[in-house]
Amino acid sequence: MQHLLSIESLTAAEILKTIDLAKKLKATRGMETSKPLAGECWGLLFSKSSTRTRVSFEVGIRELGGEALFLSSSEIQLGRGEPIEDTARVLGRMIHGAVIRTFKQSDIETFAALSGIPTINALTDEEHPCQILADLLTIEELHGSLDGLKVAFIGDADCNMGRSWIWAAARLGFELRLACPELYRPPAELIARAEAAGGAVTITNDPEEAAHGADILYTDVWVSMGKEEEAEYRTAQFTRYQINDSVVAAAAPKAHVLHCLPAYRGKEITAEVFERHADAIFQQAENRLHAQKAVMTLLKS
Ligand code: CP
Ligand code: NVA
């Protein structure tokens, strides 16, 4: 792997290799002998808020022997309009790797192409690949295997998480059901491309139908970063698309409930369901660290 720009751009073998290495790194945390980022300084360029991604990368880079430099876009010239093309060519001569959280997927792709350094997508409007790798690790730990998996995503299926799930299902060949309002369906062209790549994706307006017999129930915020002005309208549109007791009752008896966080109780998930599944959800958050250490290690190998 040269970069991690999306789940779409990975092969099944790359995804599985990353999860396997993440498991090993998790089991040996604090006992590592190899420091693949020794002597390196990695930059974190963030144009959106973050708790998990920022901290897990800063800690992970240090644990791999490197140093992390946090660059908020509001504090560098990027935020005042300096083009991404120039930012990439400057930083590529100074730092050894880049972790970027921004709006446009094309900005990450441009940065990767022009900087000449390993570049990681730490969330764009289109994909959140680091989260999916941690989620797949968590599902292997909790469910035992990814084979024959049935995942139901309830909520904004056209956000970065919905789209990354579509590509994870396409690459690994598991069943994905999306439950969302008509207006928030991913584009038909995207679904067609994922299906052509082997994905089995169904879309429904009914959360309980999507949840029926599912092994994993997954949700994300109704109002993604950058969509704040639409908050009131979205909240009205998504009211039915909540993981609650009825949706959990429709799933497989031992179904796991996952959430990428941050969570808004009473909106995309009830407080009761969240707390009953909190152990799994926070295991998922911890796995960000292990999965991203695996990604950075593979980018250096
Ligand atoms: N799940 C996730 O990416 O969390 P942060 O926005 O806190 O980084
Ligand atoms: N879809 C959410 C994910 C947050 C981790 C957002 O983009 O805000």
Ligand 1 in contact with 133 (CB < 6 A)? no
Closest C-alpha to ligand 1, atom 3: 53
Same domain, residue pair 157 and 274:
yes
Same domain, residue pair 154 and 281:
yes
Helices (H), 145-270: 160-172, 188-196, 207-211, 231-238, 245-250
Same domain, residue pair 111 and 162:
no
Same domain, residue pair 48 and 180:
no
Those residues of the chain that have pLDDT short of 50 are: none
* Whether the Cβ atoms of residue 214 and residue 150 lie closer than 8 Å to each other: yes
Active-site positions read: 101, 128, 131, 220, 260, 288
Q: Is 6 inside any structural domain?
A: no
Same domain, residue pair 151 and 163:
yes
Q: Is 2 inside any structural domain?
A: no
The one-letter amino acid code at 152 reads A
46-74: pLDDT as tens digits: 999 999 999 999 999 999 999 999 999 99
Q: Is 3 inside any structural domain?
A: no
The pLDDT, as a whole number, for residue 34 is 84
Q: Which domain holds residue 196?
A: 131-285
Q: Is 28 inside any structural domain?
A: yes
Joined tokens for residue 58: 């800063």
CA of 269 to the centre of ligand 1 (A): 17
Which CATH number characterizes residue 80's domain?
Answer: 3.40.50.1370
Q: Is 4 inside any structural domain?
A: no
Ligand showing the shortest atom-to-Cα distance for residue 159: 2
Same domain, residue pair 194 and 121:
no
Q: Is 260 inside any structural domain?
A: yes
Same domain, residue pair 112 and 135:
no
**Which class for 193: exposed (0-12), middle (13-18), buried (19 or more C-beta within 10 A)?**
middle
What lines the ligand 2 site, CB under 6 Å? 123, 159-161, 220-221, 224-225, 260
Same domain, residue pair 168 and 279:
yes
